[in-house]
Amino acid sequence: MAKSIVKAQPTLPALDIERYWSLFDRRTETECWIWKGTLSRGYGMFSFKNNEGSWGYVYAHRLAYFLAYGVDPGAFHVCHHCDNPPCVNPRHLWLGTDADNVHDAIAKGRMFQGERNAKLTGSDVVAIRALHATGLLSYPKIGKQFGVSKTMIGFIVHRQNWKHI
């Protein structure tokens, strides 16, 4: 499992918050709201200028939780009931510990006991195959997003690795 970036949620000016709300498709309360901005390992990333004038980044689903509930997730994971990493619908999000996140992944069949130390998760593999199926990104570009080689992307796409997913 990838470790969360554990930082306090940034204080964002109104213009950044307005820009944030424009970067996903807001649908019904029960549907996933899909992030249209930058992705990292399948999760949305929101960029902003911090007080020093340099760029900062925060996971879009963590910011969605913070904006919806007023609670900084801090060291907790912001987990998805929907198992859809680019989803930012606050109704699909919940706070959990490392152990909660692992148990959820195992219970939903996204992870097997031996997978805990793997660089990718089952949901990463699903996202990689979906990105490849669009035909818009090359193996190297997908690999860069997920922090793995283009060779690994090829193995995943052709089901030489992660055959069980």
Count of structural domains within the chain: 2
For 115-122, the CB contacts below 8 A with 24+ separation are 116/1, 119/147, 119/148, 120/146, 120/148, 120/156, 120/162, 121/1, 121/2, 122/162, 122/165
Give yes or no: residues 78 and 119 share one domain. no
User: Residue 163 falls within a domain, yes or no?
Assistant: yes
Both 89 and 150 in a single domain? Answer: no
The answer to whether residues 89 and 127 belong to one domain is no
The verdict on residue 66 lying in a domain is yes
Question: 89 and 15, same structural domain?
Answer: yes
Are 41 and 85 in the same domain?
Answer: yes
Check whether residue 15 and residue 51 sit in a common domain: yes
Domain termination site, one of 69, 96, 123? 96
Tell me, yes or no, whether 71 lies in a domain: yes
CA distances, 117 to each of 1, 78, 102, 120, 121 (Å): 7, 20, 11, 9, 9
CB atoms within 10 A of CB 5: 11
Q: How far apart are CA 20 and CA 35, in angstroms?
A: 10
Model pLDDT for residues 77-114, shown as the tens digit of each residue: 999 999 999 999 999 999 999 888 888 887 887 665 55
pLDDT tens, per residue, the chain with 165 residues: 344 445 667 777 788 888 999 999 888 999 999 999 999 989 999 988 777 777 788 999 999 999 999 999 988 999 999 999 999 999 999 999 988 888 888 788 766 555 555 688 888 888 899 889 888 899 999 999 988 889 889 989 998 888 777
Q: Are residues 21 and 84 in the same domain?
A: yes
**Which range marks the domain in which residue 131 is found?**
115-165
